[in-house]
């Protein structure tokens, strides 16, 4: 099904919505991208829903409505800047906002009122991509490796693609053989939360604040002792596991905030490097995407921890780092409409390939 699709992604970092226009008949590609920050009120309501609280069902429903409005505004802006109309879009692939990810309990929850989003945009909506994989015994995440395989695989070189959003995940793309992938630990989630608390900034631009501190080896060791890092894939994680409450349980209280930030950056790099060394040692080409790809300190630490490999950004492969996840969900929307599988069982642990997602007509 050639045509134009929009992907909407709002990730664990809770910074806002990425809307990506993806498609084209002969050579599908990213044709436009906009980012719309969340309002402070929406961000706070979503953050609060990551933990148990009073009147959760009502608050979650209201947040789903608010997300539909925010997503619709991002779609409108994207259509404006790309000079497209709603009638020219086949479907919107909407990831929704994860507030609970509990595959061990048989569910995952990504908020959005998809019916309202269809009404607001006049475009068919595909959403709830993770639930079918979990129903088939999988982790429901990560889902982007199937897209990475479609657009970044090489017959000449073994590669690894690392998406550094709130959580970091890895896709192994061998020259031949099975594609694998899994979540490898915190990406930006702890760094973003720590700098927001201490400097009221949404993220550490370029890793500049972390670069002012020094790594605390004992703290890093306590963090990396978490059993998630030692688990074999398939595996996935989220804010339920890696959050500021967990971090605070490991602090003495005497640490300088900049030193903690430097340590958080080092732990993110170490988790990624360990995944590369452990599961794709033949991959000499490493490509980063997601917001963390623009963290200069994190990128330099990865290069130091992965000697003999090149560490680049997916921009050089034709898709800007910030656009990859949005493009992936546009691609998944296309797969739903074609009744084609969107998961990789070797990645998620599902019992087989599955068509992912539910469709809401325009």
Q: Which residues of 120-154 are buried (b: 16+ CB within 10 A; e: fewer)?
A: bbebbbbbbbbbbbbebebbbbbbbbbbbbebbbe
Question: Kind and range of the H or E element at 147?
Answer: helix 144-152
pLDDT digits (tens, 9 = 90+) for 164-195: 999 999 999 999 889 999 999 999 999 999 99
Read off the tokens for 197. Answer: 């608390």
Angle between helices 257-279 and 217-224 (to 10 degrees): 50
pLDDT digits (tens, 9 = 90+) for 32-82: 999 999 999 999 999 999 888 999 999 999 999 999 999 999 999 999 999
Which of these ranges, 1-5, 160-164, 300-304, has the smallest mean pLDDT?
1-5
> Which string of DSSP letters, residue by residue, matches 216-271?
-HHHHHHHHTSHHHHSPSS----TTTSSHHHHHTT--S-S-HHHHHHHHHHHHHHH
Residues 247-273 have a mean pLDDT of: 97
- Judge whether residue 283 has pLDDT over 80: yes
Say if CB 286 and CB 311 are below 8 A apart: yes
Non-local CB neighbours of 80 within 8 Å, separated by 6+ positions? none
Residues 322-345 have a mean pLDDT of: 97
pLDDT digits (tens, 9 = 90+) for 120-166: 999 999 999 999 999 999 999 999 999 999 999 999 999 999 999 99
Non-local CB neighbours of 16 within 8 Å, separated by 6+ positions? 10, 35, 36, 37, 38, 70
pLDDT digits (tens, 9 = 90+) for 112-121: 999 999 999 9
Would you place residue 103 in the very low, low, confident or very high pLDDT band (cuts 50, 70, 90)? very high
pLDDT digits (tens, 9 = 90+) for 199-209: 999 999 999 99
Average pLDDT, the chain: 96
Q: Interior CA angle at 23 toward 20 and 29, to 5°?
A: 75
Phi-psi region of 29 (alpha: psi -120 to 50; beta: other; left: phi over 0): beta
Say if CB 65 and CB 77 are below 8 A apart: no
Say if CB 331 and CB 21 are below 8 A apart: no
Look at strands 89-94 and 125-127 and give their pairing.
parallel
The domains of the chain, with CATH numbers, are 4-141+322-360 (3.30.420.40), 144-317 (3.30.420.40)
């Amino acid at each position: 099904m050639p045509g134009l699709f929009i992907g909407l992604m709002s990730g664990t970092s809770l910074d806002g919505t990425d809307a990506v226009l993806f498609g084209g008949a002969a050579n599908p590609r990213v044709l436009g991208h906009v980012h719309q920050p969340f309002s402070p009120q929406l961000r706070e309501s979503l953050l609060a829903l990551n933990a148990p609280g009073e009147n959760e069902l009502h608050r979650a429903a209201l947040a789903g409505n608010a997300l539909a409005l925010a997503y619709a505004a991002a779609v409108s802006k994207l259509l404006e800047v790309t000079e497209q109309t709603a009638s020219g879009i086949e479907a919107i692939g909407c990831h929704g906002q994860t507030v609970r990810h509990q595959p061990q309990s048989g569910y995952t929850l990504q908020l959005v009122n998809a019916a309202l989003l269809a009404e607001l945009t006049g475009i068919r909506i595909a959403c709830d991509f993770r639930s079918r994989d979990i129903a088939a015994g999988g982790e429901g995440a990560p889902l982007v490796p199937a897209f990475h395989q479609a657009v970044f695989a090489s017959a000449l070189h073994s590669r690894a693609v690392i998406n550094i959003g709130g959580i970091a995940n890895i896709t192994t793309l061998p020259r031949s053989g099975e594609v694998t992938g899994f979540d490898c630990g915190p990406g930006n989630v702890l760094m973003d939360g720590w700098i927001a608390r201490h400097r009221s900034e949404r993220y550490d631009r370029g890793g500049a604040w972390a670069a002012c501190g020094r790594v605390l080896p004992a703290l890093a060791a306590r963090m990396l002792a978490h059993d998630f890092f030692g688990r074999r894939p398939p595996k996935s994680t989220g804010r339920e596991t890696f959050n500021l409450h967990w971090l605070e349980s490991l602090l003495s209280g005497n640490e300088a905030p900049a030193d903690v930030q430097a340590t958080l950056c080092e732990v993110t790099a170490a988790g990624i490097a360990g995944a590369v060394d452990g599961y794709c040692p033949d991959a000499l080409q490493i490509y980063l995407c997601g917001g963390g790809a623009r963290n200069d300190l994190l990128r330099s630490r990865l290069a130091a921890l992965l000697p003999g490999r090149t560490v680049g950004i997916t921009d050089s492969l034709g898709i800007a780092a910030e656009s990859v996840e949005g493009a992936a969900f546009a691609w998944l929307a296309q797969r739903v409409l074609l009744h084609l599988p969107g998961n990789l069982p070797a990645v998620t642990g599902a019992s087989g390939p599955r068509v992912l997602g539910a469709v809401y007509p325009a």
